[in-house]
Every structure is written in C-alpha cells, then in structure tokens.
Chains A and B, each alone.
Chain A
Amino acid sequence: DTEVTQTPKHLVMGMTNKKSLKCEQHMGHRAMYWYKQKAKKPPELMFVYSYEKLSINESVPSRFSPECPNSSLLNLHLHALQPEDSALYLCASSQDTHRASRGYTFGSGTRLTVV
C-alpha cells in the first residue's frame, strides 16, 4: 500500500459544529503532516507528528486540534470554525523527519466548507 487515504473527501459544516478529518497510511511512515491549502495558493504547513508525538505546531488556532492515535492514523478535530477556514486540508506522510529523508506522500485532501 503506497497511499495516504483521507476521509471524508468533502465536508460542509456550520460554525458551531464539531467534526473530524481522518488520515491513514500503511507504509510504515513515522512522520505525518497536516497542510491547509486555499485556492490558488501553496499548501501551508499546520502540524508535524514524529513517532506519534507532535513536534511542530505552526501557530495554528486552537479550533484545530490534531491527534495521532497510532503510527498509521492522524486526525484533525475541528470545532467552532470560521468561514475563512474553508480550504483543502491535506495530509502527508514521510519515512521520518530527518532532513535527508524527502519524498512526502500526500493524500487527495478533504475539501472543507464552513457555512
């Protein structure tokens, strides 16, 4: 299995809702990432998990809460989002976070719309 699977593919949520995005990989990768991408912009890094521990939080608002239950799964819990949080949320994984270890595998993303 050489894929990163993200669910759901599309999500519409109200500003008072709580929802979760899920990401799964079975490549034995020990680093997983969340990126946010707005239309016609590059992906922006949000969080980095290394060996199931949060290693980087790029000053993301607390309404986004990441979780890494095990080495294959990564969740992003959403609560009280704003319309400007509408974007494509991308999950990626890599063998590890060592500088010489490149080659991220990205999922197809979850298209999130906040109404």
Chain B
Amino acid sequence: LAKTTQPISMDSYEGQEVNITCSHNNIATNDYITWYQQFPSQGPRFIIQGYKTKVTNEVASLFIPADRKSSTLSLPRVSLSDTAVYYCLVGEGAGNTDKLIFGTGTRLQVFP
C-alpha cells in the first residue's frame, strides 16, 4: 500500500514560497503522484501531477527525486487565498482497478 505522510500543518506569510513535502516509501513503479487543494466545504481541486523529476504549471511546481520515495509541492509567492488543505495522493489498487486514497493532508495557513 502506497501510504503517504505529510506534515499536519504549516504557516506562512503572503509573498513567501511554501514547500510541502510528502513521503511515499512504497510507491509502485507505475504510480503517479498527484496533489490536490481543498477549501472548506468544497471538493478537492487538482493542482499538479508528476511521475519523476520536475513538473511546473501556472500555479505550482512538483519536485520528485530519482528514488520517487518523496515529493515536494512548491507554491511560489503564496497569498491569503492559498490557505487550504493540501493532499498528496499516490494511486493504489489491484490490477487495473484504481482507487486514490487521501492521507491526512497538510493544512496551510497564510498570514498577511
């Protein structure tokens, strides 16, 4: 089972870069790493996905080392609206049936 471990919470200030690390020691060869953002009383929102090395999009970067046992979500210059829970997900399942299991997530609080 590819469980994930993240810090429970993080604090930051507006304009700073935030790095959230996720540990996934048992990641399978074919698994991708996906990060979601969730605001209160809303469904999680896809942020970024990667398999190895580095992926960047308009909102975040994802760094994955060669052994793929961890990954780091990087949010550049956060704002108050980035206050949310961030989940790191790695797929698991038997055969072709996939089920994404959410870990505890990291609650990010951004202060002015």
User: What residues make up the interface of A, taking CB atoms closer than 8 Å to B?
Assistant: 4, 31, 33, 35, 42-45, 48, 50, 55-56, 58, 88, 90-92, 97-109, 111
Contacts and interface: CB of A to CB of B under 8 A. Distances in A.
Contact of A103 (B34, B87, B97): B34
A50 B99 CA distance: 11
A101 B87 CA distance: 17
A interface, over-half SS:
strand
Contacts of B100: 45, 102, 104
Interface residues of B, number: 27
Contacts of B96: 97-99
A88 B104 contact: no
Given A107-B43, A108-B43, A100 B101 contact: no
Given A98-B96, A103-B49, A108 B34 contact: no
Nearest to B90: A102
Given A42-B102, A58-B99, A98-B96, 16 more contacts: A31-B98, A43-B44, A45-B101, A50-B97, A92-B43, A97-B93, A97-B96, A99-B30, A99-B31, A99-B93, A101-B98, A102-B89, A103-B46, A103-B49, A104-B36, A108-B42
